[in-house]
Amino acid sequence: MTSLVFFYLACVVILSGGLTVVLSRNIIYAAFGLMAALAGVAGLFILSFAPFLALVQILIYGGAIVIVIIFALMLTKLEDFRTLSDHKHWPIALIASLLTLGTIVAAAFYTPVNLASRRGVDLSKMAHELFSQWAIPFEIASLLLLIALMGGVIMVRKTDSSDDK
Amino acid sequence: MIELTHFQVLSGLLFAIGLYGVLARRNLILVLMSIELMLNAVNINLIGYSSFMNASESHRALGHVLIIFVITVAAAELALAIAIILRLYRNKSSINTDDINIMKW
C-alpha cells in the first residue's frame, strides 16, 4: 500500500515535469521540469528495487544531461524563446500523441503477460550478464561515446574557413 | 499493490507527452528535451517488465542492461545534437525549426 502511494507521488512528479517541458513558455522552467521528470523516473527505479539504476539516472541525466542542456540554452539567445510560440499545427500533434497513447494503453491491457510479484534483480547478477553476454555491445557503447565526444568537439570547433560568422 | 499496468500506462502517458513536444515545439532544444522524455518513457516500460515478468533472473537482468544502454545512447545522442544545434545557431543565428529547411526538397 505504501509503495502505491510512492508510485503515485512519482507519477505526479514525472507527469507534471513532462507537461512543464512541453507547455512552458519559459525555457528555463522547461529545463527544470525535465530535471523533475528525470528525478521521478529515478524514484521509480528505487521502487523497482534497482538503486544502482536510480544512481546512474541521477548522475547522468540529472547531473550531466540537464546541465549540458542549460549550457546550450546559455550559448544560444535566450530572448527569442519567450516569444517563440508553438507550431500553428499543434492540434495535429495533439491528435497524433493521443492516438499513440491510445495504442500503447490498448496494447498494455490486451497483451497477455506471464506475471509474477514485483521483485528486483541482484546487482552482481546484472553485472555478470552485462560483462559476459553483453560485453561486446558494452564495448561498442564505449566506442560510441568516444566517437560522439570527438564528433561534438570537431563540429563546434571554430575553423579558419569562412563559414564562421 | 503496484501492477505492471501502472508502469505501462505511466510510460504511455510520458511517451505521448514527449511526442507532442517533438511535434509541436518550434525550439530545437525543447525538441531535444522532449526526445529525452520519450527515452525515459521507454526506460519506465523496461523496468516495469523487468520487475514483473515471470522469468529467470538472468532474463530479467536484460531489462536493466538495456536501460544502461539506453542511458548511454541518450548521452551520446545529446552531445552530438547539442553540437549540431550550436553549429546551426552559429551559421543561421536561429534555432527555430521553421528556419532550418535547407534539406527540404
C-alpha cell at A146: 568516444
What is the rounded CA–CA span in Å between residue A131 and residue A138?
8
Query: In chain B, what residues touch A140 (CB-CB under 8 Å)?
Result: none
**Which residues constitute the domain of residue B51?**
4-92
**pLDDT category of residue A78 using cuts at 50, 70 and 90:** low
Q: Which of A21, A31, A30, A55 is nearest to A41 (CA)?
A: A55
pLDDT at A165: 46
Helix (H, G, I), strand (E, B) or coil at B96: strand
Whether residue B54 and residue A114 make contact (CB cut-off 8 A), yes or no, is: yes
- Test B30 with A22 for CB contact under 8 angstroms: yes
Segment A134-163 mean pLDDT: 86
Please count the structural domains in chain B.
1
Indicate whether A62 pLDDT > 60.
yes
The CATH architecture that domain A1-82 belongs to is Up-down Bundle (1.20)
Q: How many CB pairs under 8 A join A and B?
A: 246
Reported as a single tens digit per residue, the pLDDT across A25-44 is: 888 899 999 999 999 999 99
The pLDDT value given to residue A113: 82
Which CATH number belongs to the domain containing residue B88 in this structure?
1.10.287.3510
Q: Does residue B29 fall inside a structural domain?
A: yes
Please answer whether residues B60 and A125 qualify as being in contact, where contact means their C-beta atoms are separated by less than 8 angstroms: no
Question: Quick check: is B99 in a domain?
Answer: no
d(CA B76, CA B73): 5
* Residue B46: per-residue pLDDT: 94
Which residue of chain B has the CA closest to A155?
Answer: B83
pLDDT of residue A160: 62
| pTM (predicted TM-score) | 0.90
User: How far B103 CA sits from the closest chain A CA (Å)?
Assistant: 18
**Is B97 inside a domain boundary?**
no
Interface of A with B in 81-140 (CB under 8 A): 81, 84-87, 89-90, 92-94, 96-98, 100-101, 104-105, 108-109, 113-122, 125-126, 128-130, 134, 137
Q: Does A63 touch chain B (CB under 8 A)?
A: no
